[in-house]
Structure 1
Amino acid sequence: MGRTVRNVFVAGCVAFWLIPLYLLIVNALTPATGYTGEPDWTPQGFAIFDNIKTAWSDAGIGDSFLSSALYAVVCGAAAVLVAAMAAFAVVVLPIPKPAFWFWLIYSGTLFPLQMFLAPLFGMYADGNLYDTRLGLMLVYVAWAVPFAFFLVRNQMTTMPPEVTEAAMLDGASFLRIFWRIHVPLMAPTLGAAFIFQFTAVWNDLILGITLSRSPDVQPVMAALSTLSNAYASSGPPVILAGALIVSLPTLLVFLVFRGLFLRGVTATARS
């Protein structure tokens, strides 16, 4: 009985996720001029490429797509690198009060992002960082560091200190110990942390609409939200086609690196 209930629950969760995806794909296929205003449950045509072209070129979502790719890759990698260095300092280096530094960095995940928006907007406006790629990249890195630090630090605490001590006896500097020993051993966890941060940056909406407005600077989720207003007369098929192409990068990253992701999450869970 319990197994039947579990299987029914899992099947319901799968259906709950797949039905909206099915509707998105089917209605993205519908020609914009032939959309009736009601969701279609069966394909009413095959205008997916026309809808994608309208969303990508005519609506300008392509520029934002490339900007988000830049933000997600560069900021995700930079955040993981900074987090790994911070974790190495807290766990390995002989710094005073390591618990204090851990909670100071990790506290960045404890406060709601909305409380920082007004001060950030004022600082960016005064510092000429508003509506610039550099401004968004700085805030994305700072936003992504705390959670990546938490993942990497948890895994780093499981590494035997004898490894570091042996390297120091051989005359290795802390910088060499970090790059030659800890980074290779932490590769799965670093990869998992990067996938988490890539997804978080790619899916960001609130920072994008608060700190940018130009199509070539805005992240893709912010551009997609404006697309629903600018192309409301074209009907949902264009908007859904844009949502479809926007959802592909995170899916592809997870599918390509799923083995690395699972090893990294497993290693972190065991720590």
Structure 2
Amino acid sequence: MGRIFRNLFVAGCVVLWLIPLYLLVVNALTPVTAYTGRPDWAPRGFAVWENLSTAWSDAGIGDSFLSSLVYAVVCGAAAVVVAAMAAFAVVVLPIPKPVFWFWLIYSGTLFPLQMFLAPLFGMYADGNLYDTRLGLMLVYVAWAVPFAFFLIRNQMTTMPPEVTEAAMLDGASFRRIFWRIHVPLMGSSLAAAFIFQFTAVWNDLLFGITLSRSPDIQPVMAALTTLNNAYASSGPPVILAGALIVSLPTLVVFLVFRGLFLRGITATAR
């Protein structure tokens, strides 16, 4: 009986997740001229290419899409490298008070992002970093490091210290031990951390609308809010087509790397 209720609960959660996705796809297919002002449960036509073209080119989603792709890939990878070095320092290097350094870095995930907006905006305005790609990339890397550090450090603590000791006896430096031993052994955890940070940076809206305003600088989620304001009079089909575009990269990343992601999560949970 308990198994039946559990299966029904899971099925209900799946249905609740699929209904909004179904409505998004169906209404993105609807021609703007055929939209009645209420969500359609069945397609009223097939204008998905027109809606996608309007959202991509005319509304400027394309420029922001490419900018977000750069932000997500470069900043996600940079955050993972920095986090792996920090985890190596805390777990392997003989530094004083490693627990203090762990909590200092991990505390970056404990505070709400809203408390950083006013100081960041003032600092960026004074330092000529406002509305620049460099400014957004700096804040994305800093924001992504703490959680990536937490994931990577969890797996690094499971690695036997004898591996490091044997390498040191052979004359290897800490730099060589990190790049030649720990990084290859932590490949799945590094990949899982990168997928997490890629998704987080891609889905960011708060920093995007606060620290940028130019269409070619803004991340795609900020551009989607602009699309919502500019094309509200033409109806949701164009807006939903834009939402469909921005949903694809994270979906593709998870589908393509799901095996690697699951192995990484399993490794960090040990």
Give TM class, smaller chain: over 0.9
Aligned to 1:156: 156
TM-fit CA distance, 1:68: 0.3
TM-fit CA distance, 1:38: 0.7
Deviation by residue 1:172-200 (Cα, 9 ceiling, x = unmatched) = 11000000000000000000000000000
Aligned to 1:119: 119
Aligned to 1:238: 238
TM-fit CA distance, 1:155: 0.5
TM-fit CA distance, 1:262: 0.3
TM-fit CA distance, 1:33: 1.6
Hey, what's the Cα distance between the residues in 2 that align with 1:94 and 1:7? 49
Hey, what's the Cα distance between the residues in 2 that align with 1:67 and 1:12? 37
Aligned to 1:64: 64
Aligned to 2:22: 22
Aligned to 2:176: 176
Deviation by residue 1:152-181 (Cα, 9 ceiling, x = unmatched) = 001101101110010011111100000000
Aligned to 1:251: 251
Structure 1, unaligned stretches of length 5 or more? none
Hey, what's the Cα distance between the residues in 1 that align with 2:11 and 2:54? 36
Hey, what's the Cα distance between the residues in 2 that align with 1:139 and 1:178? 26
Structure 1 residues 76-225: aligned runs within 5 Å: 76-225=76-225
Q: TM-score scaled to structure 1, two decimals?
A: 0.99
Hey, what's the Cα distance between the residues in 2 that align with 1:115 and 1:201? 18
Secondary structure of 2:269's match? helix
Hey, what's the Cα distance between the residues in 2 that align with 1:166 and 1:3? 49
**Count of residue pairs the alignment pairs up:** 270
Q: Which consecutive aligned stretches of 4+ in structure 1 deviate over 4 angstroms post-superposition?
A: none
Deviation by residue 1:73-104 (Cα, 9 ceiling, x = unmatched) = 00000000000000000000111111111010
Hey, what's the Cα distance between the residues in 2 that align with 1:125 and 1:42? 48
CA RMSD in angstroms, aligned pairs only: 0.5
Once the two structures are aligned, what percentage of the paired residues are identical?
88
Hey, what's the Cα distance between the residues in 2 that align with 1:7 and 1:218? 42
Hey, what's the Cα distance between the residues in 1 that align with 2:226 and 2:147? 29
Moved more, 2-11 or 148-157: 2-11
TM-fit CA distance, 1:217: 0.3
Aligned to 2:8: 8
TM-fit CA distance, 1:234: 1.4
Secondary structure of 1:73's match? helix
Moved more, 228-237 or 74-83: 228-237
Deviation by residue 1:198-253 (Cα, 9 ceiling, x = unmatched) = 00000000000000000000000000011000111111000000000100000000
Hey, what's the Cα distance between the residues in 1 that align with 2:223 and 2:56? 11
Secondary structure of 1:103's match? helix
Aligned to 2:35: 35
Hey, what's the Cα distance between the residues in 2 that align with 1:88 and 1:9? 42
Moved more, 56-65 or 2-11: 2-11
Hey, what's the Cα distance between the residues in 2 that align with 1:199 and 1:6? 29
Secondary structure of 1:41's match? coil
TM-fit CA distance, 1:65: 0.2
Hey, what's the Cα distance between the residues in 2 that align with 1:164 and 1:80? 21
Hey, what's the Cα distance between the residues in 2 that align with 1:268 and 1:167? 23
Structure 2, unaligned stretches of length 5 or more? none
